[in-house]
A and B are shown apart, each in its own frame.
Chain A
């Protein structure tokens, strides 16, 4: 048979070759796909068909220094709508029931258009029982609408702490870019206060519910019955330095007042109480905040959103006298034998600077005890403006304390170069300086700075950076991790401190200005102050620490537009000290007072 003829062996062989070639190619391709590259294809296949819906973990809780819960979480209802099944004609009725402005739902839908239409959108957190009741009645018509249980902040533990805790807020687009991968649209993050500073500890690790979706992104069901769902991990609980009792009484005493109070443990810098009044209700921000609520808060003339405890900068008044005293003593300009005569004021040039009383001859201790202005007008001149300012800076005035919330002001601790800048090189005289000696005029401090100053005096010039965080509890092994802070030693001699402290002791226990602050069983030391206010009533200031021998708490309290510090600020400090140091006595007294009020 010719090779070219009909049905020849050669032609047959060519067909066999063709089959062989094709089967080999198919075999190798199959082998490559199903055995070598199987993993890649499997990943692709799963990405194809599994959609993750994040589960937001509960935020870490806040405990006080004795592990009392002060900020918790509670379950609340969140409204969800699945756009694919939802009829937009119900927008207006739902918006009306939610008491939100028209177009609210559409706005949320438009925000994440690229998201699968078959996955739910969170419409509103913290649904009212009224809404739930209405929804349950009309459920059958409202296709695609449902509510889920979510955790939200619970502030029902007896203290407000609005300015230190801060609130959480829906993440901004900028933050989203900054923390790509950690957060997504609609997540809540700390907006201010501790919530903001420790966001990274608090937010926890997101989990995910896995759903099967088909090629049209339609949800078909749970992936492996939810067995493969990723459980969220709760955020780290924070143990704060706050004492719930001290904080609570301070807040109560500040009701109806404006001002700030900060209490610090002198040795450690731990903040025991931190109050800015008026407070605002944090639970307003735990769920939906309406435009009206916002406006009300922003436009309130008392500025409840303003953190007075670490942001308000007022002249410290007589509480500042110890700066001059320390400076003069440390520089060897005076000692306890040095006296100045007080005839009710001090004539400097053609100006007369008044004192509250005629104190006669006083040494530094008595001058503090009786708050003699005449003495300190002259001390600042003797020490020198810039030297005096240096000592003020040592105590932390004019700069931030570095507290672990971002809302903090630095205040003003003036010196000659500052005045040169403000008034021009020859635009001011020593007359401008005199009143600084008693903490009036162009000097300002925050309550937090005053508390730190008080703590430094109490603890002989040593403390740590003021802070709220004692430590955190890890979410994996419940281990408590204490945090460490910078040691501060301003290098003032013990001898000087002793003298100043004695003056402050006598303010309360001698013939001083605040003898009514005395507490049975505890030696309290302190200093009153009144900041002159050209715009209205003076601001009342008091700083104090206790026990005198071994200080455990240093408090600074400013009550705006109240009058004398001794009258309006000192009693609050007294209560806070007692609440902290004499818990049993304090609680008993409170109970008695409550019963009396009932009768």
Chain B
């Protein structure tokens, strides 16, 4: 039966309009924080050009045949891994991480591209009919697919991006139907690792709790012991990793644990961002009127702290507008994941949700001082061409799915 498609049936304005609003807000923030800056004053023009290029690419992706994503997912994944290895060899170091390919006029981060590659490949792999996610071997393979890029990104080292990958993989496995025990196995080392940041006593309490839960699961002795050993190991991983980490990364962890300990050091940016946002009040100090921003109190504010520009200059209203736009996008993504044609499309949607949500939550959380300082850009708003491009490609893929979904009437 032929259905008369209306434009909104083919093109999802629930995602596209908030997306455009966020890009415009981001451009305003970048303009305000860089136009008078001695070294970054060309950033607005650059980002604006990237936005135009990204929109073109978005529409190209939107009009691609829907099958290409699944069929080229393995190729994309392998290509991503090669790029990640290459960047370790010949990449350019920016802010202590060897994560960039430099082409003179523009830079490109393979880890951005790898996000799409990993999401598509993991989704296509998980959407195979014979995959039982709760089979330990399968689970191990899934984790391995995700862990390879994470490992390579950790080597750069880029903690923030690898954390985003973890969230993406976790969300996708969860969506696929990971059992409570499986979830426990995947999550518990992370919890132990996190608790070890707060001292040995808290870590041991957490380990004891995990042991208790493990006993309650009543799995066979081999599985239980393996899980417990992994947990015990990660408990001490932090100390080892902390020693391996670069000083600027150590400082970031310290700053999260006690931001006031060194207000002019690594906790400084987060503190100044809070001051910027807090002093904005209800209506903000007006576009180009924020003294924290205009007097450049927050270094590189146009990247990870773009939200503080909006918070200061557009106040509570502007900050809430950003939150609301993201809220609409997230709710819409969850809705789309349920209406998708197949499990591949559904998993990709959840992967994209994980990608955006991880970035969003870590970034906003850092700006508001409710999560650790993790150097992650705010999707669609932060300055950064390859990030914007990849995000729009991602949304383009989702819109492509939306366009080609079957409508029943």
> Within 8 Å CB of A115, what residues of B?
none
Complex Cα distance A11/B175, Å?
A: 7
Mark each residue of chain A from 41 to 62: 1 if its CB lies under 8 Å from any CB of chain B, else 0. 1101110110000000000000
How many residues on the A side are at the interface (Cβ–Cβ under 8 A)?
Answer: 38
Bound complex: CA A26 to CA B360 (Å): 11
Residue of B with least CB distance to A45: B279
State whether A214 touches B278 (Cβ < 8 A). Answer: no
B315 interfacial by beta-carbon distance below 8 Å: yes
Give every chain B residue within 8 A of A31 (Cβ-Cβ). Answer: 316
Residues in A with CB closer than 8 Å to B338 are 7, 12
User: Is residue B346 contacting chain A, with contact meaning CB distance below 8 A?
Assistant: yes
Beta-carbon contact of B177 and A26 below 8 Å: no
Minimum C-beta distance from A482 to chain B (A): 49
Chain A interface secondary structure, helix, strand, loop or mixed? Answer: helix
Q: Quick check: is A34 within 8 A (CB to CB) of the other chain?
A: yes
Complex interface: chain A residues within 8 A of B346 (CB): 6-7
Instruction: Kindly state the separation between the CA atoms of A48 and B365 in the bound complex, as whole angstroms.
Output: 23
| Per-residue contact bits, chain B 174-216, to A (CB 8 Å; 1 contact, 0 not) | 1111011000000000000000000000000000000000000
B279 touches A42 (CB 8 A): yes
Across-interface contacts of B327 in A (CB, < 8 A): 19, 23
Q: Does B291 contact A (CB under 8 A)?
A: yes
Min Cβ gap B342→A in Å is 11
Contact B368 A5 (CB under 8 A): no
Could you tell me if B292 and A49 are in contact, using CB atoms closer than 8 angstroms?
yes
Residue among A5, A11, A34 with most chain B CB within 10 A: A34
Q: Name the interface residues of B141-198: CB closer than 8 Å to any CB of A.
A: 171, 174-177, 179-180
Report A1-16 CB contacts with B as 1/0, cut-off 8 Å: 0001111100110111
- When C-beta atoms are compared, the residue in chain A nearest to B349 turns out to be A7
Chain B positions 330 through 366: 1 when the CB is less than 8 Å from some CB of chain A, otherwise 0: 1100100110000100100010010001000100110
CA gap between A480 and B34 in the complex, in Å = 57
Task: State A37–B281 Cα separation when bound (angstroms).
Answer: 9
Task: Identify A214's interface contact among B277, B296, B350, CB under 8 A.
Answer: B296
Do B292 and A29 have beta carbons less than 8 Å apart? no
Pairwise interchain contact A15-B316, C-beta atoms closer than 8 A: no
The answer to the question of A22 belonging to the interface, with a C-beta cut-off of 8 Å to chain B, is yes
- A473 on the B face (CB < 8 A): no
Is B281 touching A7 in the complex (CB atoms < 8 A)?
A: no
Interface 1/0 per residue, B260-286 and A, CB below 8 Å:
000000000000101111111110000
Q: Are B291 and A23 in contact (CB under 8 A)?
A: no
Neighbour of B280 across the interface among A15, A34, A213, A220, CB < 8 A: A34
The reply to whether A44 and B281 contact each other, CB–CB distance below 8 Å, is no
B281→A42 contact, CB < 8 A:
yes
- Whether the Cβ atoms of A19 and B330 lie closer than 8 Å is yes
- Taking CB atoms, residues of chain B closer than 8 Å to A29 are 368-370
B90 contacts the other chain (Cβ, under 8 Å)? no
Q: Which residues of A contact B343 (CB under 8 A)?
A: 6-7
Interface of B is mostly: helix
> A7 CA to B174 CA in the complex, in Å?
9
Can you name the residue of chain A whose Cβ is closest to the Cβ of B334? A15
Residues in A with CB closer than 8 Å to B337 are 7, 12
Report the minimum CB–CB distance from B46 to chain A (whole Å): 23
Is B295 a contact of A4 with CB atoms below 8 Å? no
Chain A residues near B316: list those with CB within 8 A.
Answer: 30-31, 34-35
Instruction: Give every chain B residue within 8 A of A8 (Cβ-Cβ).
Output: 177
Determine how close the nearest CB of chain A comes to the CB of B293; give it in whole angstroms: 10
Which residue on chain B has the smallest CB distance to residue A2?
Answer: B177
Is residue A33 within 8 Å, beta carbon to beta carbon, of the partner chain?
yes
Q: Nearest Cβ in chain A — how far from B344, in angstroms?
A: 11
In the bound complex, do residue A30 and residue B295 qualify as a contact, i.e. CB atoms below 8 Å apart? no
Tell me how far the C-beta of A369 lies from the nearest C-beta in chain B, rounded to whole angstroms. Answer: 84
**C-alpha gap A44/B311 in the complex (Å):** 15
Shortest A356–chain B CB gap in Å is 84
In the bound complex, how far is the Cα of B278 from the Cα of A33, in angstroms? 5
**At the interface, yes or no: B320 with Cβ under 8 Å from chain A?**
yes
* B405 to A: closest C-beta gap in Å: 15
Q: In chain A, what residue has the closest Cβ to B364?
A: A26
Most buried by B among A22, A27, A31, A214: A22
A40 at the binding interface (Cβ < 8 Å): yes
| Contact partner, A26, options B180, B279, B368, Cβ 8 Å | B368
Q: Is B382 an interface residue (CB 8 A)?
A: no
Q: Do the beta carbons of A34 and B295 come within 8 Å of each other?
A: no
CB contacts under 8 Å to B, within A83-106, are none
Name A33's closest neighbour in chain B (CB-CB): B278
Point out the residues of chain B lying under 8 angstroms from A40, CB to CB: 278
A30 contact from B180, B272, B276, B319, Cβ within 8 A: B319
The interface centre, meaning the residue of B279, B297, B327, B346 with most chain A CB atoms within 10 A of its CB, is B279
Residues of A within 8 Å of B361, CB to CB, are 22
A4 and B297 within 8 A (CB): no
A212 within 8 A of B: yes
User: Distance in Å from the Cβ of B288 to the closest Cβ of chain A?
Assistant: 14
A261 to chain B, nearest CB (A): 62
B299 to chain A, nearest CB (A): 8
Query: Which residue among B174, B330, B353, B369 has the maximum number of chain A CB atoms within 10 Å of its CB?
Result: B330
Cα–Cα distance between A46 and B290 once the two chains are bound (Å): 11
A200-227 interface bits toward B, Cβ cutoff 8 Å, 1 = contact, 0 = none: 0000000000001111000010000000
Distance in angstroms from B131 CB to nearest chain A CB is 10
Q: Is the CB of B291 within 8 A of A34?
A: no
A residues near B370, Cβ cutoff 8 Å: 25-26, 29
Q: Does B323 contact A (CB under 8 A)?
A: yes
Assess whether B282 is in contact with A12, with CB atoms less than 8 Å apart.
no
- In the assembled complex, the Cα of A444 lies from the Cα of B189 at a distance in Å of 95
| Shortest Cβ distance from residue A137 to the other chain B in the assembled complex, whole angstroms | 33
Contact present for B281 and A5 (CB under 8 Å): no
* A5 and B292 contacting across the interface, CB-CB below 8 Å: no
Compute how far the CA of A305 lies from the CA of B320 in the bound complex, rounded to whole angstroms: 73
Closest CB in chain A relative to B365 CB, distance in Å: 8
The reply to whether A41 and B320 contact each other, CB–CB distance below 8 Å, is no
Select one of A33, A42, A212, A214 contacting B368, CB under 8 A.
A33
Find the B residue at minimum CB distance from A14.
B174
Check if A38 is an interface residue, CB within 8 A of chain B: yes
Give min CB distance, A351 to chain B, whole Å. Answer: 84
A171 to B323, CA, bound (A): 56
Please give me the residue from chain B that is nearest to A31 by CB atom: B316
Tell me the smallest distance from the CB of A37 to a CB of chain B, in Å: 6
Given the known A-B contacts A25-B370, A26-B370, A27-B320, are A45 and B334 also in contact in the complex, defined by CB atoms under 8 Å? no
User: B275 to chain A: which residues have CB within 8 Å?
Assistant: 41, 44-45, 48
Are the CB atoms of B281 and A45 closer together than 8 Å? no
Contact B174 A34 (CB under 8 A): no
Q: Is the CB of B323 within 8 A of A23?
A: yes
Distance between Cα atoms of A106 and B308 in the complex (Å): 42
B287 CB to nearest chain A CB (Å) = 17
> Which of B277, B280, B295, B364 is packed against the most chain A CB atoms within 10 Å?
B295
Interface pair A41/B278, CB less than 8 Å apart: yes
Q: Do residues B177 and A4 form an inter-chain contact, with CB atoms below 8 A? A: yes
Report chain B residues within 8 Å CB of A19. Answer: 327, 330-331, 334, 357
Contact A12 B368 (CB under 8 A): no
Q: CA A581 – CA B357 in complex, angstroms?
A: 95
Q: Find chain A residues with CB under 8 A from B364 CB.
A: 26
Interchain nearest-CB distance for A211 vs B (Å): 11
- A residues at B contact (CB < 8 Å): 4-8, 11-12, 14-16, 18-19, 22-23, 25-27, 29-31, 33-35, 37-38, 40-42, 44-46, 48-49, 212-215, 220
The 8 closest A-B pairs by CB, nearest first: A41-B278, A45-B279, A33-B278, A41-B279, A34-B316, A42-B279, A214-B295, A29-B368
Between-chain CB contacts (< 8 Å), 27 pairs: A4-B179, A7-B177, A7-B337, A12-B334, A18-B357, A19-B327, A19-B334, A22-B361, A22-B365, A23-B327, A27-B323, A30-B311, A30-B316, A30-B319, A30-B320, A33-B274, A33-B278, A33-B368, A34-B277, A34-B319, A35-B316, A38-B278, A45-B275, A45-B278, A212-B295, A214-B297, A215-B295
Contacts A25-B370, A48-B295, A212-B295 supplied; 7 other A-B pairs, CB < 8 Å: A7-B338, A15-B171, A30-B311, A31-B316, A34-B278, A35-B282, A35-B316
